[in-house]
Structures are given as structure tokens and as C-alpha cells.
A and B are shown apart, each in its own frame.
Chain A
């Protein structure tokens, strides 16, 4: 019987652990930095979905090149609304000076972030910006207003669904294999989720990248994917142990990883292909979603090929 590839995982197990450990530490540092930072104040840079607020996106109509705009001009116009617009003259009207304005896609898109506004107030902002900085493509305007209570709710429901999904997966593996496998699969999964969160905390800290509901979706997808990969390897380890009881457990693990290595790499590659295409051609709406998945797929492959099986070897008696 010939093994597909000669993998010496047991021999190199300490290198594997060191790599995973350092990556986890870097991730935790990133999240701590975000948590300590006065502007973010949470382990991840939470976006509109979770904090509540208003996001207005306008697309400019330009010939070939869009002329550069000064974002402070736009924000000044918006602040001026407080004195001129009927929808803002209540005592309770929101603080318009807290606006964040970004120009995206070579100044073609204007993205305006404001505190929670009413429908009429957001209309006023849109018409003011359209009046002063036009022309715009009217059909390509999008407005998103999320109340602060809804934001908290979304965050809560995201965290709860993540937790329940993890629990369900752990129970399933516990039922199909045993507690040791279930624990390690869950450990590998948490490792992958931690690394993706870590990458996004650093991105949030340095480049102000935010996490939204789609990020929670990507974490769940990564969880499913990571467990899927780990299970395939575990399944093979169990099979090898049943067929050939003579060999040591450590050798069986190396053998099983070798046998599934090609499959895991191919699968990761074929999953990465459409994701990379979305990164390149998919436009801005799915960019960070695809990015999170790319990181997750890579981390998931690593943990299922190297981390989970190498940890399994220390739990065995021989």
C-alpha cells in the first residue's frame, strides 16, 4: 500500500503549533488595540449595521474622469442644513457635524455617513448634496438608515446564531465520532474564526475597514467550511485506524493527512477561484465579504491539514 504523499506532520508538529499560536496572538493583539482605541471601542470596528446611523451613497455623473471633490466642502454644506432646513430645526435633531464623507471608485461615488436620521432628514441631505455637487445619476442613490436599537439587536442575533451553529456542529461531530474529535474540530474552527476576526481588527484599526452583517455571515460560512475540511481528515484517520490496527496512531495521522492533502488543496483552490473573481470584478458591495472568506478558506485549510490532526496526536495514548 502506497501513501499518496509522504507527510511528516508529527515530526513538525511544534512548528505548526508555533505558527498557529503566533497568528492567534497577533489576532488578539489587533482586537485589543481596537478595543482600547477611543474611536472603535470594540474588538472589531463595528459598521453601520451594528452601531446604527445613516449611510447615503450617491453616484456622480461624469464624463470619463470625475473631478476631485473636497470632502470638507460637502460636510460643511451638510452642517449648514441645521440652520436652513426645516427638518433639522427641532431641539432633538441629530448632530450633523459628526459626518464622515468618503469618495470611492475614483471619486465616482460619494459615501456619506451620519448619525440616525429620519426619512425626511435624509431626503434633505440627499437633495442638498445633489443640488450643490451635481450632476448625479439619480437612479443610483442608496440610503440606509438603521436605528441604534436595531443595531444592537442585529449584533445580538449575529452572536447568538454563531454560538448556536458552533454548538450544533460540535454536537453532530460528537455523535458521529467522539468527544475528542468534536473538541478538536471546534478548536480548529475557533482558531479560523479568531484569525479572520484578527485580520479584520487590524484592517479596522489601520484602514478603518468595518464589519457588517455580511461579515457575520462569512464567519458562519467559514465555520461550516473549516469543520467540513477537518471532518474529511478525521474521517480518513478513523478509517485508516480501522483498516490497519498495527501501525501507531501517529503514523496513521500522517498517513491520513497525506491521503487527503490533495483533496483539501484542490477544494480550497476551487473555492478560492470564484471568491477571487468576486474580489476582482465583484464591485464594492461584496468585496470585504469575499475577502473575509478568502482568509477563512486559507486558515481553514491550514487548521484542517495541520493544526487539528497534529493536536489529535497528543491526545492519543501511544
Chain B
């Protein structure tokens, strides 16, 4: 046992540490392995802001972060991807349509004042809306009963409305279609109002509550001091007139209210307001989450949705692990069969390699996905290759009638440049993939890249240290442990030394 065995000791310590890490720190699994939903959102430029910079995307992200937190999915993650995209992960979420709805809307809250001379128009639209709303209520109470729908279908008035707002009229109508109609009417109403400087920007909070009399949900708004002043000014300017105050969200008027004569002197003070559209509890909750997060500075498009079932994920892990382990088992048998003692050393070194790599994955952490596991298996292939290169050299040196210890040293020295070249070229691919690739391509590049770096280390140090350690035992130091003696041209040479 000489100085060389320090390395061996180090490796053993590293291995024990790795086992500790692998058992104590859980692996971070990607959505394809644990199930859940993933949404990719793309920030869209507008006429005012044609180029999306990191400032804009940060602004959008800040708003979405608040909305995502409002969704109440644990462990959810939102990160920026590239120059104009955001990636949202919702572990365990099986139906992302709710999230898609809450996130996708701009939620721009505006307070508008009715334009002069639009009273009659507004009254007509409000009447239309009221009748549509009563139909919605009726349909919902009766679970969209077929009989009711039939009756509504014959109603000429209703059909005219659908035609007017360009909604394709079909024989089967249900409450959802009437909601669509209501929204169109609300958009029409909003055009009768002119914007003021008071927007959702001045909100400090939003909440919801149920009206005791109507059982409808309301959304409550609280302004900051500046917003409170603006609200007072606006209400003051129309108090006692026939002009109404409109609360408009994303271009739809949700409610219109008159301001009484008593507010003529100071306006409505106190910095609070209520939106009392005909909300269901879900609608109110969504609106509350959106308003509390503020309006999106730029519109977003949902360009990708992936949903994967939780047990599908575990099935994926099991299947790929079984396949990989079986493959590696065969590789091990092959190595021992071809390289005898050296093959055994390689199997040991590769086991250490796997341990080190896995513990690095847990430590960093690297999110493991299915392609990530494929990357890991391929990196084992690279590690095996390094060992094959060394041992082929070793055989060659032995065939050239060199002594065992000198052959071992020479084989590591001669294989070095090939191993370095091979590993570095693969590493170049990995780095390119990591920086230019997206999504799970990145995961593959990360696991393979880490694997390649560690493989370089294990091939050049682990294998050597273990081999040297074993060579300190006389009984193992035989050429016949490495090569079939028949292959050595000059077999009479002293096998030891």
C-alpha cells in the first residue's frame, strides 16, 4: 500500500458521501415523470410596444406570478424562456383549462364615464342584457333543460339578437351561448363610455363577497390614496347628472352605476368600490385573482399545453429504468467476459461513476425528465468507451511483451488523448444544446454534459486507482488475469514484476 492508494481512499469516501446524498436529497422529477400540466405562454407585442425586451417580460411575469399564486397549486413554477416566453409548471394539475383562463386574460380594469347623449342607446342595451341574463339564470336553474331551450329557440327576438352580434345560431342553445351574447352586449355598452385616468393600476386589493339579498357574488375593490382621490374626482364630476359610471374590464362593461346628488360636493370618498355584475362564485374568484395581480402590461397567448397523468409518469420511470438497468447488466457481463479482472475493475468504476453522477443530479439539482434519463444512460456509454479504450491499449501493450505494471501505466497515458478528444467533442454538443435548445432538450444536454465531465474523472482516476489498489496484492498481479496468455507472442516472459 503506497501513496497511490490515497486516491482509492478518496474514492471510497466520495462513494459513501454519494450514497448518503442520494438517499437523503430527493431527486427533482420533471412533469413527464410525476404528472401535471405545463403551459408555455408567449408575450404578444402591441401597436404601442412592438419589441419585447426583458423589462416587458419581467413586468408580465410579475403579474402572472401573483395570479399563479392565486390559483393555489402547490409547487407551481413560472420561469422565463428565451426572449418572449414564459413556462408555467403546475405539478399534479390534470385540467389546465381553468389556469389557462385566469392567466390568459389581460384583466385591464377601467373606470369610464358615460358619453353625453347616449342615454337612450344605453337603456336599450341594458334591457337586452337584462333579458339575456334572466334567460341564463333560468337555463342554469333548470340545467339547460331541452324543453326550455326549445321554447327559447322559437323566440324571434332572441334569434335577432344572436344575428345582430354575429353569433352563429344553432338549433341547440345553452347558457354558455347566452353568456357569449351577454359579453358582446357588454362590449357594446362599453363603447358608450369614455375612459378616465382611473385604472386597475391604483388598486391595493381586491376581494369578493356574496350579496345577502340576491345571492350574487360581488367583487370589492380598494384603491390607494391617489386612486381614492381620482375616484372621488370622477364621481364628483357626474354626481347628480344622468351620466353613469361604468366599470369596464378588458373592454366589457360589467356594471354601470349612477352617482347620487349628495356626492356633488366631494364625490365618493373612502377609496373603495364594488363591482356587482351577475357573478357566480367561480367568476368572482377568477376576477379577484386577476385584479389583485393587476393587468397584464402586454397580452399573452398560450402556445403550448402539456398534461400528463401521474401514474403514466411513474410507469415511464419504471419502464425506462428497467430497460436501462438490464442494458447495463449486459454491458457489465460483456466487460468482465472480455477484460477479465480489468473488466471487473471497470464495472466497479462504473458503479462509482453512476453514484457520483446521480448525487450531482440530486445536489444541483438537475430536473430529471425522460430524455434526461436517456442522456444519463448515454453518458454511461461514454464512460464504458473510456474504459474500453484503456483496456484495449493495455492488451496491446501486453502483447508487445511489456510488463504488467508498465503496461497499465502506458495504457492510461496512451489512451488519454483519445479519451479527452471524444469527451470534449460530446461536451461541445451538450453545451450548444443546453444554450440553444428548449425544454426537455435542455434536460438531456444537462444530464449528458454532467455525465461526460464525471466520466472523464472516473475513467482517468477511479479505474486507475482501483486497478493500482488491486495490483498491490501479489495474487492478482498476473498477466493471465488480463489477457489470454495464448495471445502473448512471447509467453515465456516473467508474468510478474
Footprint of B on A, CB under 8 Å? 1-2, 4, 59, 83-84, 86, 89, 91, 118-120, 122-123, 137-147, 149-150, 153-154, 157-158, 160-161, 164-165, 168-169, 172-173, 176, 213-214, 216-217, 220-221, 223-225, 227-229, 231-232, 235-236, 239, 259-260, 262-263, 266-267, 269-271, 273-278, 280-283, 285-286, 289, 293
Contacts and interface: CB of A to CB of B under 8 A. Distances in A.
B381 A282 contact: no
B335 A270 contact: yes
Given A221-B448, A269-B334, A263 B389 contact: yes
B52 interface: no
Interface size class of B (residues with CB under 8 A): 35 or more
Interface stretch (B272-280, B287-295, B370-378): B370-378
B320 A283 contact: yes
Contact of A286 (B172, B309, B370, B440): B370
A277 B97 contact: no
A225 B378 CA distance: 10
B417 interface: yes
Given A231-B425, A271-B378, 7 more contacts: A91-B168, A119-B99, A143-B307, A169-B428, A172-B428, A220-B429, A267-B389
A142 B309 contact: yes
**Among A147, A149, A220, A239: residue with most chain B CB under 10 A:** A220
Contact of A275 (B327, B421, B437): B327
B322 interface: yes
B42 A289 contact: no
B233 interface: no
B323 A164 contact: no
A28 B279 CA distance: 61
A154 B429 CA distance: 17
Interface in B392-438: 392, 396, 399-400, 414, 417-418, 421-426, 428-433, 435-438
Contact of B304 (A141, A147, A262, A281): A147
Contact of B305 (A119, A154, A213, A293): A119
Contacts of B371: 214, 217, 289
6 A-B pairs closest in CB distance? A274-B327, A147-B303, A277-B327, A86-B176, A228-B422, A161-B436
B35 A270 contact: no
A68 to B, nearest CB: 23
A144 B422 contact: no
Interface of B: 35, 40, 42, 94-97, 99-101, 166-168, 170, 172, 174, 176-177, 301-312, 315-316, 319-320, 322-324, 326-328, 330-331, 334-335, 338, 370-371, 374, 377-378, 380-382, 384-385, 388-389, 392, 396, 399-400, 414, 417-418, 421-426, 428-433, 435-441, 444, 448, 489
A130 B323 CA distance: 31
A1 B400 CA distance: 7
Given A91-B168, A150-B40, A227-B425, A281 B309 contact: no
A164 B216 CA distance: 60
B308 to A, nearest CB: 4
Contacts of B322: 281
Pick the most buried of A143, A147, A217: most chain B CB atoms within 10 A of its CB: A217
Nearest to B424: A172
Contacts of A119: 96-97, 99-101, 302, 305
Contacts of A274: 323-324, 327-328, 330-331, 377, 380-381
B306 A168 contact: no
Contacts, number: 236
Contact of A232 (B95, B399, B418, B437): B418
Contact of A270 (B320, B334, B370): B334
A282 B323 contact: yes
B326 to A, nearest CB: 5
29 contacts: A84-B172, A118-B302, A140-B311, A142-B309, A143-B305, A143-B307, A147-B304, A150-B303, A161-B436, A217-B374, A217-B441, A221-B378, A221-B429, A224-B430, A227-B422, A227-B425, A231-B421, A260-B392, A266-B338, A270-B331, A270-B384, A271-B384, A271-B385, A274-B324, A276-B327, A277-B323, A278-B323, A289-B374, A293-B378
Q: By DSSP majority rule, is chain A's interface helix, strand, loop, or mixed?
A: helix
Contacts of A169: 425, 428-429
A146 B304 contact: yes
A139 B35 CA distance: 9
Contacts of B302: 118-119, 147
Given A164-B432, A286-B370, A270 B388 contact: yes
